[in-house]
Every structure is written in C-alpha cells, then in structure tokens.
A and B are shown apart, each in its own frame.
Chain A
C-alpha cells in the first residue's frame, strides 16, 4: 500500500460534477503539483479549496479540492477529492494528468480494501461496501448501508451477549459445585433460554434469505414444453423483444436472460429451451441447460399451452419440480380449451395470455405475494447477505438445535456447553470477532494481495 491511487468516484454519466478521489502517501503532493491555488501542503486537514487543475500552465478545469489528512479519512490515508465541473471528457483529462504524475488507477473496491487493511472497517463492513458498489436497486443499497452502519453487527452482538450469559450461568455451576446457594442450572431453566436464541437465529436467517433476494434479486426460470409461449412471456415482462419468437417449436435453444425491477426487487428472468426429447445436437444442450438453471432458480414459471391436447407430460414435469417455488401459467386463455386444471389446485395457477397485459399483471402480483415483496418494502433491513454469512448463521442455528436436542436426550451439561460455545464462536466469525485462518484466504482471494 505504498502507492497512491486515484479513480473517478462518481457514477459515469452526465452529472453536474464528478469527483476524483486520490488516496495514499503522496496524494496531497501529487494533487498540489497540478493545482493552481493555495499550497495544499500547508493547509489544515478537512478543508475545501478553490482553484484550477493545470497542465503546463493550461487551465484544464475549475475545481474544488477537499483535503483530508490521515488518519481520519475513509482509507485512513491522506485523501484528496477533486470536484470537477467540466463534464466527462474534462474529468477524464484530469484523471490522466494524475496518472502521469505517478498515481496508480485504483482497482474496483481498492479504496475499501485499504480501509479494511488499515483496520478502519471490519470484514462485514468491507463486504457490505462491496455490495453497495454493486447494488442494482434502491433496496439493495439500503441493505448495504445498514450493514455499514453496523446494524447487523449489533444484532449478532446481542445474540452473542445472551449466549455468554447462558454459558456463564452453566460455568458457575460447573466450577463451584460445592456451593448450593448458586442457582442450579437445569433443563427447565436452560431450554427456554436456548429456545429464545434459536428463535432469534431463525428470524435472522429468515430475514437474511430476504436479504439475499434484495441484494441479488429473484432468479426466475420460465419452463415448459416447446412453443407454449415462454419467450413471449419474457418479452412482455421485459417490455422488449429480447427473445426471438416464432411459431416453430424449438426456436429458443440457449437460455436468454433479462432483468426487470418489480416493486424495487430485481427479477432475473431466464427463458429456456422448451423441454422435449430432441435429436438436434444444439437443442439438446439447450434442454440440458434449462434443467440446470431451473435447479438453481428461486422461482419457476411453468407455462402450459391452454390448447394442448395432452397434459400428462406437463403433470409429470411439474411433479418433478417439488421443493421449488412454482407458478403455473396457463397461457393462451383467450383460446378455447377442453382442459380441466383441477389437478393443479395445490399449486399457484395464473391464467393469462401475452396479447393483453391483464394476465401478466396477475403473474407479477403473484410473485409479489409469494416473495413477500411488499413486506420487504416496509421492513428495516439489517440482514446477512453474503453466502458466507448465511451459511455461518445456519451453522450457528444447528449448534443451538443440537444443544436443545441433546439436553432433551439427557446428555450432560458439560457436553452441551460445546454446542453453545460453537454457536457463539460461529456468530463471532460472521462479524469478524473471532480470528479464522480461512479469513485470511478469503482476504487474499478477494483483494488479490501479495503480488
């Protein structure tokens, strides 16, 4: 971290100003060397200065310089932010000048990396900031900001504090067995307390699954036999002609993706090749891909052609999709049909067509309902959102479940403390309160350090 890095920190676009951030040991001296105004090496920290960026006496841009000295900065290093006013090409020119003066172009997330490595933020915050940078919806952004503010850490600390109290009351019993005036820990007073922890963890995990949805969106896969209108549904949802639609079965051979924002939640809609036995080599690969993506989907929209003569194949395929969230979309409901759909009563069924928007609105509403999207809209977000965090939370939950089960089975308390301790430490891993060897590997892989 000896180098000084710089990057355009505002979104690329046509905003009134754009900001270039410079961080590192030479941040102040480099900017000073291209700045015409006060001597930046002699001003106080956390001050703003008016002047021009110059190159060989040519004024390139009229700027405001925000100067922040180490350590009270985002990266803890000397940091200078240049507020450029000249639009995108001028901003790029200023950046180029800085690079010529010895700055290195920052890699994505490098400012955050420095903040983390310099000990200013914990891993959870670092993760959240990288989420923030990559967030695609307002909800995802809010979630990331809540993590940065430490709401999640506080929630986990609260659970950990309760665990420590439980553990301490057990330990007193173990270490001072001679004293009968200490409250004796029994299953009757222990299990309700552990159940409370379990409740908190369940809530955290449940909300975190939502957090994942907020962050990554919902993966929706459209399945069905060839030529039932899957691609038309995709196109109508996306409001663009993304997939080629013909009346020839097997037109879609690869998967086609599009994104829509549904009440602030991102839907990653994936259209697939129709499911059928085929001898066409390319189409075969497509069918296999359809099966693969549907395994990872959060939601499957299974499309049935209202006019089809035989439902048997569809019923079989739907039965194979158990454990998945599923909507059956009966397409072409404007056409007459002799089919009866009472077999699908236990599923979510939506009737509609792609000619009118009515059916598709019903489809969207169904999704909103199934994923509680309205509820997500009103909730305060403080969820675990990375796979790492969620899997650790589940591990912690398992440990507490083991503790409760083992107590009920009559296992002695000294064993059960191992489960309780495991829960405590696993939660500590989420917030980085426990040193883990694999954390360092994570660090190296995320930030390609040490090269």
Chain B
C-alpha cells in the first residue's frame, strides 16, 4: 500500500467496482478501499440483475465500457426479456445472477488491472484543502493522499440493522460499518438523509414443497446483456424460480403483531421506498387486497438458499417463523437467514453537480446508495459516471453528462441532482419521458461513441458499432428500393394485405409500416438479402414501424434541447430576479441549475417562475453580448 494515489474509491459494491475499473482503465493509479475484500461486488439483497429500466441501464453501462453486463452474462443461471407484450420501447432484460459467481468474476476482473490496488480498511474522514479533496483518514489514523475521491459507501454509513425491537449497530450480514464518515461529511456542510431498506428471509431450498407452486422459466431465445460476448449459459438448462402468495393466515399474523415490527414500533427513523415496501407495509396500506404475490428465487447454484422476493420485513424472529410457514409451499420451510430492515446515512443528492462531483468539495464524487438511490444497476451506472468524470477532470477534460434523451443513466442522475429524493430512488421506465429512444436494442448506438472517445471502448468494438449502423442503413435502403406490384408479389404476401388491390404497388418499407408485416416475411420470401443479423432486423423494423412516434419524440427532444442550450450563468443572483415565488427562489438557489431545461424540472419552480427567469436573463445578459 502506497500513501498516495490519483483516485481513491471508498466502497467495493457495484458503484465502487465500476468506478475503480474505469479509472484504472484510463491509466490512473487507483486504490479501492473496502472493509472486507470478500464482499467486493456483493449482492446483499435480491439475486438478480436487470429488470424494467434497470436492464437497459446494464446495457448502457456495457455500451460505455463498464463491467456489469459482462459479469452478469458470466454468472446468471436464468434470463428473460420483460415486457415483450407491452412493446419494444419498454423491453428489458432480467437475469437471476449467481450470488457466488458474480462477486468472484468481478474480483477476477479487477485483479487483472495492474494499476488498481485493493485495500482492506475502514475510512472515517476526508482531508480537504482549499475546498479540494486531498486525501482520506483511516480508522487507524493513517492518511492516504489522493487527487480525487469517489465515495460509494452503500448502506455502511452509521448503519442500524433492525429486527423487531432489536437494533444492531452493524452493516449488512453483521459486517462492520463506518461510524464517523457521515458525521464528518455533515461537518463540512453536507445535509445527511436517513434512509431505510430491507431484505427478506433466505430459505433452505429442500425444505420447500414445490408441487403446487407455479414455476417461472427463463426465455428460450439466447440473450446477453453485453454487446461484446455471445450467450455464455446453457439455454436449455436454466434454473427455475417459483411463485407463491401470501395467505389469509399471513395477513392475520401481520395484523396481530404489527406493533412488534420495527417499522411500526417507531424504531425505524429512516425513510423507505414506496415501490419496495415491507410485507407489513403492503398489508397495512392495501388492506383490501386479498393476497400479495411472492417469488422464490435461488441465490446460487452453489448454495441452498432461496430468496423470497416481496417478503421483506422487520418483524421479530418468532413472528417471521410464523409468517414464512403461513405461505403455501413453505409450511415446513427452514429459515436460513432472517429478514431485517437496515437504516443508513446518505447525502442529499442536491449537493451534486450532474457530473456527480459535489458542489461543496472539488474532486469529491459520490455514487450509489450514498446518493439516495437503491438497486445494484443504479449504483453501477453512477459508479461508472463518477469514475469517468473523476478521470476526465484529472485529464483536464469536460465531464461526461448524459442527457435525458440519451440514456436512463442520464435520467437517473438528472433526477437526483435536480429533484433530489426523500426515499431510496429507483429507476422506472415512466421516469424517462423519451423512453421510445432509450431502448434495450440501441444502447450501443446511443452511447458507444462516448465510450470510444473516452478510451473505454477499443477500436474493434467501435468498428463493430459502425458496421451495425451501416447494416441498418443498408437494410432500410433495400426495403425502400424493393417494390411490389401485381406482377411480382408473392401470393402469401398478397394474402396478408387487407384491401387486396395493388393499385400503384408498394415498397417493402411501406408494407413494414403495417401491423401485419415483419421484415422476416420478406427474408423468408427471398425478397431481400438474408445477410442481416437478428439485432439489425429488430432495430430496423422498430425504426420503420414506429417512425411516426419516433419523429414525434424527436420533435419533443428538439424542444428540450433548445432549453438545454439556454445556459444559466454561474454568477446569477436569484435575489435580483423579480417576481419569483419564494419556494421557487429557494430551490433555484439550492440546486443552481446549469440550464433553463434543468430549471424547468425542479419541483416547486413553476412555469411562471421560469418565464420571469428568462425575462431576467434576456434583460441582464443579452445586452452585454
């Protein structure tokens, strides 16, 4: 261990891994400090990667040159495409990732990096000189210097584990926690939030009676998160998950024991997420719902633990025994690990710039749960961006700020730094106003060029992207040129056309716009070349079929970009802008939006305030030009 690094990353979770990986890749000397090297890339909660919106984030991470997609491809034992029926814009991958393999593969990948040092230690304070970070102080008072620092502390800041009336002062799985770091951040001006999350029981695999439970299968088409590797799993040999439901007995036990839950006894001070409620929360809030769906998911091929998704609770142990045994199929289940709630400190993300650098201390970056988010994928996406931007700044380059019309990661970060959060933030497709453009299939087309410019995507990967772009254009042209008329139309194509009369003939391109046609029909009829791969066909078909909607979305985006171009000068004095409502003025002062577009997204800043702001900018700043 040296006493000086270019970049230090504190925390070895999903954010920390991506951040240290990209910074090392970009040739900086990096130290990754973790309290326990065995917990690198740990998955302390659900055994899955992806899900709606999150699966697209994993694709984006891969497009930019991050690790999560590749590691997930190497370690999952079931994968499926969600939302196939709801349309191409909201499709997303979800995989059951092996909790043993994923961390192993991640550690293996990190150990390949020559300029990355992994250090086991607990960080308790930061060193700041002239508003700029210069180093950290460890638990043993040892100092390590750095030029930039990335904090990815997860749930380890002053964490409390809560089960019933018991409060344990420890991190997840009884790990040690950082006692002083969040207080020290508070002293330097950061507002500290107290958040809460929870995790359900783990059940002995063989103690479950599966005979009456509905199995959930993986898809039978090959799928990958990464753009760079083929499927690495046995499609025909995927593990099963199962579905069960709460019973009337479950609801009775909860209602009878409500005051024993840490959540309802008043022990929990942190704010939990509405979209990820504990089972007692669900039963209290949705009292008229007869049952709640639960998923039984294997954690690993190498352990016998089954995770009960949807059943997190902070009930005491004896109540948990009763609760688990009230579930169909789990009457005789053996609990290997009890459920718990965990509280931890986070910073108010409004302290951050869109680059994830803090506004208070230069060269200090934060990513993941410390910023108020939840989820492995959200953490990894931020870790990647923090790692990239810490590196770019040391290279004296402009930060990478992804726009809302470019990526889910951009939506996530913009939401955090513009709107802030009062509960653990989860990405949803409904948070993305341009989700038609932010698809699973085009993450590489959207973002790979940035990865290439930064130096995380190599020439071979980049050429593959260019080839993909060209193939899509070729296919579109081919479909436009090829026309069908009375003479040359194959009968099976003719039969599909509803109105039966070919007056002027059609291009294949026009036919694809109709719901009844797919590109594959024309390939099967040998009307066009069969050289195109499935992903080319998928993207092209989408672009043609939904051209109207895509154009409409681009029109909206153009409006947004016009406002994104309207920069707000850094020296603006909001007290001088007349007639802004008090709330709007406070929010503008706190968040310091960079552009008018960002200002419009701040809750509490109303359209009239924006009008006043624009009038002020026109008066004050356009005269000087």
Partner of B600, one of A119, A181, A435: A435
- Number of contacting residues on B, CB 8 A? 47
Q: Is B293 an interface residue (CB 8 A)?
A: yes
C-alpha spacing A422/B556, complex, angstroms: 10
Q: Which residues A426-447 have CB closer than 8 A to chain B? A: 432-437, 439-440, 443
Given the known A-B contacts A1-B578, A119-B579, A175-B429, are A439 and B611 also in contact in the complex, defined by CB atoms under 8 Å?
yes
Q: A13 near B: Cβ within 8 Å?
A: no
Q: Assess whether B428 is interfacial by the CB under 8 Å rule.
A: yes
Contact B559 A437, beta carbon cutoff 8 Å: yes
A414 near B435: Cβ-Cβ < 8 Å: yes
The 10 closest A-B pairs by CB, nearest first: A412-B87, A414-B87, A435-B607, A171-B430, A414-B89, A414-B90, A175-B428, A181-B293, A410-B515, A435-B610
**Given A440-B611, A449-B615, also A422-B552 (CB < 8 A):** yes
Is there an interface contact between A117 and B562, defined as CB atoms closer than 8 Å? no
For residue B552, give the distance in angstroms from its CB to the closest CB of chain A. Answer: 6
Known: A171-B428, A450-B618. A415 touches B546 (CB 8 A): yes
Show 15 A/B contacts (Cβ-Cβ < 8 Å), sorted by A.
A1-B578, A119-B579, A171-B428, A171-B429, A174-B52, A174-B86, A175-B52, A177-B83, A412-B85, A414-B89, A415-B89, A415-B436, A418-B553, A435-B611, A439-B611
Write the chain B residue with the least CB distance to A180.
B293
- The answer to whether B515 and A177 touch across the interface, beta carbons within 8 angstroms, is no
- Which one, A118, A176, A409, A434, contacts B52 given CB within 8 A? A176
Set of chain A residues within 8 Å of B82, measured between Cβ atoms = 177-178
User: How many angstroms from the CA of A176 to the CA of B429 in the assembled complex?
Assistant: 10
Report the minimal beta-carbon distance from B88 to chain A, rounded to whole angstroms. 7
Q: How far is the CB of A175 from chain B (nearest CB, A)?
A: 5
Known: A177-B83, A414-B436. A117 touches B579 (CB 8 A): yes
Closest residue on chain A to residue B553 by CB atoms: A418
A422 to chain B, nearest CB (A): 7
Interchain CA distance A172-B46 in the complex, whole Å? 21
Looking at the assembled complex, report how far the CB atom of A448 sits from the nearest CB atom of chain B, in whole angstroms: 13
In the bound complex, CA of A440 to CA of B90 (Å): 35
Q: Which residues, 566 to 625 on B, are CB-close (under 8 Å) to A? A: 578-581, 600, 607-612, 614-615, 618-619
Given B292, B433, B578, B607, which contacts A181 in the complex, CB threshold below 8 Å?
B292
Residues of B with C-beta under 8 A to A422: 552
Is B291 at the interface (CB under 8 A from chain A)? Answer: yes
Contact, CB under 8 Å: B53 / A178 = no
B607→A433 contact, CB < 8 A = yes
Q: How far is the CA of A146 from the CA of B245 in the complex (A)?
A: 53
Indicate whether A440 sits within 8 Å of B87 (C-beta atoms), given known contacts A118-B579, A175-B53, A418-B549.
no
Contact of A175 (CB < 8 Å), options: B430, B549, B563: B430
Whether, in the assembled complex, A413 has its beta carbon less than 8 Å from a beta carbon of chain B, the answer is yes
Chain B residues engaging chain A, CB cutoff 8 angstroms? 52-53, 82-83, 85-90, 94, 243, 245, 289, 291-293, 295, 428-430, 433, 435-436, 515, 546, 549, 552-553, 559, 562-563, 578-581, 600, 607-612, 614-615, 618-619
Taking CB atoms and an 8 Å cut-off, the chain A residues in 89-137 that contact chain B are 117-119, 122
**Cβ–Cβ < 8 Å partners of A118 in chain B:** 579
Are B559 and A117 interface neighbours, CB within 8 A?
Answer: no
Given contacts A418-B436, A437-B563, contact A179 B293 (CB under 8 A): yes
Q: Which residues of A contact B579 (CB under 8 A)?
A: 117-119
The distance from the CB of B449 to the nearest CB of chain A, in whole angstroms, is 26
| A162 interfacial by beta-carbon distance below 8 Å | no
- Residue pair B295, A440 in contact (C-beta under 8 Å): no
The 8 A CB mask of A371-393 against B (1 = contact, 0 = none) is 00000000000000000000000
How many of chain A's residues touch chain B, expressed as a range? 35 or more
Q: Which residue of B lies closest to A436 (CB)?
A: B607
Fill in one digit per residue for A174-192: 1 if any B CB lies within 8 Å of its CB, else 0.
1111111100000000000
Chain B contacts for A171, CB-based, 8 A: 428-430
The CA of A181 and the CA of B243, in the complex, are separated in Å by 11
Main secondary structure of the interface of A (DSSP, over half): loop
Residues in A neighbouring B295, C-beta threshold 8 A: 178
Q: Chain A CB within 10 Å — which of B88, B293, B295, B433 has the most?
A: B293
Complex Cα distance, B82 from A173, in Å, reads 11
Question: Roughly how many angstroms separate A75 CA and B430 CA in the complex, as a whole number?
Answer: 40
C-alpha spacing A412/B89, complex, angstroms: 9
- In the complex the two chains form, what is the Cα distance from A443 to B612 in whole Å? 11
Whether the pair A173, B52 counts as a contact (CB closer than 8 A) is no
Q: How far is the CA of A411 from the CA of B549 in the complex (A)?
A: 11
Most buried by B among A122, A433, A437: A437
Closest residue to A431 on the B side, CB-wise? B607
Chain B residue contacts of A173, Cβ below 8 A: 86
- Residues in chain A near residue B53, CB distance under 8 A: 175
With the chains together, A413 CA to B553 CA distance in Å?
A: 16
Which chain A residues (159-178) contact chain B, with CB distance < 8 Å? 171, 173-178
Given contacts A174-B430, A449-B615, 13 further A-B contacts (CB under 8 A): A119-B609, A174-B90, A174-B429, A175-B53, A175-B430, A180-B243, A181-B245, A410-B515, A412-B85, A414-B83, A415-B549, A418-B436, A443-B615
In angstroms, Cα B619 to Cα A329, docked, is: 58
- The one of B89, B292, B435, B611 in contact with A443, judged by C-beta atoms closer than 8 angstroms, is B611
- Per the bound structure, the CA–CA distance linking A408 and B57 in Å amounts to 32
CB distance from A102 to the nearest CB of B (A): 21
- A437 is contacted by which of B546, B562, B578 (Cβ under 8 Å)? B562
Q: Which residues of A contact B549 (CB under 8 A)?
A: 415, 418
Q: A435 to chain B: closest CB distance in Å?
A: 4
CB of B622, distance to nearest CB on chain A (Å): 9
> For residue A412, which residues in chain B have a CB less than 8 angstroms away from its CB?
85-89
Question: How far in angstroms is the closest Cβ of chain B from A38?
Answer: 31
Question: How many angstroms from the CA of A229 to the CA of B166 in the assembled complex?
Answer: 98
Nearest neighbor of A117 in chain B, beta-carbon distance = B579
CB distance A409 to B515 under 8 Å?
Answer: yes
The 8 A CB mask of A389-412 against B (1 = contact, 0 = none) is 000000000000000000001111
CB distance from A304 to the nearest CB of B (A): 44
B residues in contact with A413, CB < 8 Å: 86-87
Task: Tell me whether A177 and B611 are in contact in the complex, defined as CB-CB below 8 angstroms, given that A119-B579, A437-B562 are known contacts.
Answer: no
Q: Compute how far the CA of A122 lies from the CA of B618 in the bound complex, rounded to whole angstroms.
A: 21
